[in-house]
Amino acid sequence: MLQRYLKKMTMRLNDAVWSLRVHPSLFDDRPQFFPGPSRNYHKFVILSHQRAGSSMVIGALATHPQIVAFGELFIPKRIGFNIEGYDNDSAKLLYLRDKYPIEFLERYIFSSYSKDIRAVGFKLFPDQLEKSSFQCVWEWLIQNKDIKVILLTRHNLLATYTSLLIAQKTGTWGIMNEAQRTDATITIDYEKCVNAFKKRKEYRKKVLEYFKDHDLIDIPYEDMILDFNNYFKELQQSLGVDIHHLKVGPIKKEVRPLSEVITNYSELRRKLLNTEWEYLFKG
C-alpha cells in the first residue's frame, strides 16, 4: 500500500515539475530537416490493426521524396516518429504529447514544411487511443475532413491474429531476410480469438461510418500484396505526389500454412465451423 502511494506521489511530483518547464510553445522547436513556410500539402492517417500491412505501407511512403511519413505517434511511453533526427525517446516531447495531443498534431506533425513536401501523415492503431487523454484524437480526426484516411484491412482474421501472437511470443515484429523467419508455434484460446475477430470487424465498421465524409482509401491487405505497384501508384495519385517506384519492405514474416503454426488448429476449426468465421478455413 505504502509503495503504491509513494509511486503515485512521485508521478504527481514529476508531472508538476514538467508542467513548470514544458509549454506547448515548445512544439515550434522542430528538427529542421523539412524547413519552409508551406502548409499546402495533403494530410493523411493510416488506420489499421497490427499485422495488417501498416508498417509496409508507411515504410514505402517514407521512401518518397515528397512525403513525410511518420510511424506510430501514440505508442504508450514513447513516440514512434521513425524519421531520422526526431527523438523517439524525448521525455519532454512525451510529456507534451500526453498533455497536449491535439497541439502535438497541429503544431509539431502537421506544421509547415518546404514547398517540395506534398503529403504528411502517420499511422494509428485503435488500442493506442484507449488512454483517456488520447480519445480527443479520434474526435479531432473525424472533425478534420481534409485528412485523407487510409484504411488497411486484412480479411483473413485468423492469419492476422496468429501473426500477432507469434510476434508477441518471439519479440520480432519485422524481418529483412528469409533467414530471420521463425519456426515458433502457438496455441490459440478460442474465446480470446473470437473476441479479437469481433473487435477488428467492429473497428472497420466504425471507421467506414465515422469517416464516410472523408476521402477514404480502403485497401485490402490480401489484394495489395499481390499487386504492390498498382496499389502504391493509386495511393501516390490520391496523395497528390509524383509517381515514384517505392521501396517495399520488410519481407513477409510468415509463409507457413496456419495448420503448421497453430498447434490446436483442428480443434479451432471444429469450433468455428457453422459460425460467421468458418470462411477462414476455406480455400
What does DSSP say about strands 119-124 and 42-47: parallel, antiparallel, or unpaired?
Answer: parallel
Q: How far apart are CA 107 and CA 143, in angstroms?
A: 17
Q: What is the pLDDT of residue 20?
A: 46
Q: What is the pLDDT of residue 138?
A: 94
The answer to whether the beta carbons of residues 155 and 221 sit under 8 Å apart is yes
- For residue 106, the domain's CATH number is 3.40.50
Q: How many domains does the chain have?
A: 1
Question: Of all residues in the chain, what percent are helix, strand and coil, respectively (each to 5)?
Answer: 50, 15, 40
At residue 210, what are phi and psi to the nearest 5 degrees? -75, -25
Helices (H) and strands (E) in the chain, counts: 11, 5
> What is the extent of the structural domain holding 261?
2-21+30-281
Q: What is the pLDDT of residue 132?
A: 82
Q: What is the pLDDT of residue 133?
A: 85
The answer to whether the beta carbons of residues 22 and 92 sit under 8 Å apart is yes
Task: Tell me the whole-structure pTM to 2 decimals.
Answer: 0.86
The answer to whether the beta carbons of residues 156 and 164 sit under 8 Å apart is no
C-alpha grid cell, residue 125 = 492503431
Q: What is the pLDDT of residue 170?
A: 84
C-alpha grid cell, residue 276 = 460467421
* Mean confidence (pLDDT) of the chain: 87
The answer to whether the beta carbons of residues 250 and 173 sit under 8 Å apart is no
Q: What is the pLDDT of residue 2?
A: 56
Q: 114-155 pLDDT, tens per residue?
A: 999 999 999 999 888 888 889 999 999 999 999 999 999 999
For the chain, percent of residues with pLDDT exceeding 70: 87
Q: How far apart are CA 17 and CA 92, in angstroms?
A: 11
> What's 78's DSSP letter?
S
- Number of Cβ within a 10 Å radius of residue 62: 16
Question: What average pLDDT score do residues 57-77 get?
Answer: 94
